[in-house]
Amino acid sequence: MFFTSKIKETEHMEHVFDITVIGGGPVGMFTAFYAGLRNADVHLIESLPELGGQTGALYPEKEIYDVAGFPHIKGKLLVQQLESQMRAFDPQITLDTAVTNIAQAGDQFKITTSKATYYSKSVIIAIGNGAFAPRKLAFDYDSRLDHHQVDYFVHDLDDYKDLDVAIAGGGDSAVDWALTLNDIAKSVTIIHRRDKFRGLESSVKQLMTSNINVKTPFLLEGLGLDDGKLKIDLKKMKSDDHDALLVDKLLVNYGFTSDSRILRQWAIDLQGTDVLVDNHMQTSRPLIYSVGDSAYYNGKVKLIASGFGEVPTAVNHALETIYPERKQPLHSTSLFN
């Protein structure tokens, strides 16, 4: 077998990994896989308790149509496949742990996290847009409704089965959820403050010709409980008209905010809030790389497919720099045979 001399267990903080991947989104997981494939000793650190990044946390049930080799694949299935591909090489995976600093320690990096300190010969930053959170409703309401009657993420479609569901939002995601839940819920109402939706034209057309109740242009003003049902107070835009809707659940789809301010403390050059990289995906600090949504170069497109493409460039350059004498075959077929 190709992997014989790898040290798998970190028994001491002095253990020095070849590559530490920061972020366990789709691109971070593919990085850990590919580095394993190249026989590297890999550590992946993820701040959330689960792997999957935006795909796993924000749109697990959405169909993705632009990942090569899959005509379409659900977000959560792509995450499962990436995880199983990555785990074949048994990388060290540390979850629920945020990286807070990367400091030079001789020819190594000292990586400080919310829980412990680790060492590595190189670092690949795959933190996407940083720690992300859903944009909340703009008014105060009883926070005990969250996770019961007010959702910001869809974790399981069965949670909506045979229920009266309202969806707030007018973007791609809100339209996709309305169409998806229409096959599962008893009724679906989509509420948007404008008359026009920003989704894909074909999806918007499907929405407008479906039996989904389209409530526009209305603004959500308040939430309360009415005999066990969720009462949503609505106000018609540019008018004094008010309305109310009784549903079992409200799914809010106002997009997400992300926070990548931590990057400012890592002494690397940034382009806005993203990490500036060269054509090896290397940052302004040698042996620190960035891939996926966190990386910026001229012409960058923030998609899973582009992130995957950046990974071999970063990993191979890191390993060639750390082990200039080590030559490995480039094609995975020659590694597995």
Ligand X SMILES: Cc1cc2nc3c(=O)[nH]c(=O)nc-3n(C[C@H](O)[C@H](O)[C@H](O)COP(=O)(O)OP(=O)(O)OC[C@H]3O[C@@H](n4cnc5c(N)ncnc54)[C@H](O)[C@@H]3O)c2cc1C
Binding positions for FAD: 46, 54, 59, 99, 132, 293, 333
Name the one range near ligand X by CB under 6 A: 3-11, 202-210, 271-279, 287-295: 287-295
**Cis upstream peptide for 71 (omega within 30°):** no
175: phi then psi, degrees, rounded to nearest 5: -65, -45
Q: How far apart are CA 15 and CA 7, in angstroms?
A: 9
Binding residues: 46, 54, 59, 99, 132, 293, 333
From candidates 16, 19, 21, 22, binder to ligand X by CB under 6 A? 22
Closer to ligand X by Cβ: residue 36 or 130:
130
Closer to ligand X by Cβ: residue 155 or 242:
155
From candidates 17, 18, 20, 25, binder to ligand X by CB under 6 A? 25
Residue type at 253 in one-letter notation: N
Among all residues, whose Cβ is closest to ligand X? 128
Q: Give, as ranges, the residues between 147 and 186 that touch ligand X (CB under 6 A).
A: 173
Closer to ligand X by Cβ: residue 30 or 89:
30
The verdict on 24 binding ligand X (CB under 6 A) reads yes
From candidates 6, 15, 285, 302, binder to ligand X by CB under 6 A? 302
Nearest C-alpha neighbor of 29 from the set 292, 285, 259, 318: 292
Is residue 268 helix, strand or coil? coil
Nearest C-alpha neighbor of 53 from the set 89, 24, 13, 16: 24
From candidates 59, 152, 197, 266, binder to ligand X by CB under 6 A? 59
Closer to ligand X by Cβ: residue 83 or 248:
83
Name the one range near ligand X by CB under 6 A: 48-56, 202-210, 220-228, 276-284: 48-56
Output DSSP code: residue 260.
Answer: -
Name the one range near ligand X by CB under 6 A: 5-13, 49-57, 242-250, 310-318: 49-57
Name the one range near ligand X by CB under 6 A: 34-42, 159-167, 282-290, 302-310: 302-310
Q: Which whole-number Å values give the CA distances from 11 to 7, 8, 14, 178, 217, in the listed order?
A: 10, 9, 8, 49, 59
Closer to ligand X by Cβ: residue 59 or 218:
59
From candidates 20, 39, 55, 282, binder to ligand X by CB under 6 A? 55
Name the one range near ligand X by CB under 6 A: 120-128, 216-224, 232-240, 326-334: 120-128
**Contact at 8 Å (CB) between 284 and 276?**
yes
Least distance between ligand X and beta carbon 97 (Å) = 7
Q: End-to-end alpha-carbon separation of the chain, Å?
A: 9
From candidates 35, 40, 64, 268, binder to ligand X by CB under 6 A? 64
Positive or negative CA dihedral for 102, 103, 106, 107? Answer: positive
30, two tokens: 């593919």
CA 96 to chain centre: 15
Q: How far apart are CA 24 and CA 28, in angstroms?
A: 5
Contacts of 255 (CB under 8 A, 6+ apart): 134, 135, 169, 171, 173
Q: How far apart are CA 127 and CA 135, in angstroms?
A: 19
In the complex, the residues that contact ligand X under the rule CB under 6 A are 22-28, 45-48, 53-55, 58-59, 64, 66, 98-99, 126-131, 173, 262, 292-294, 302-305, 307
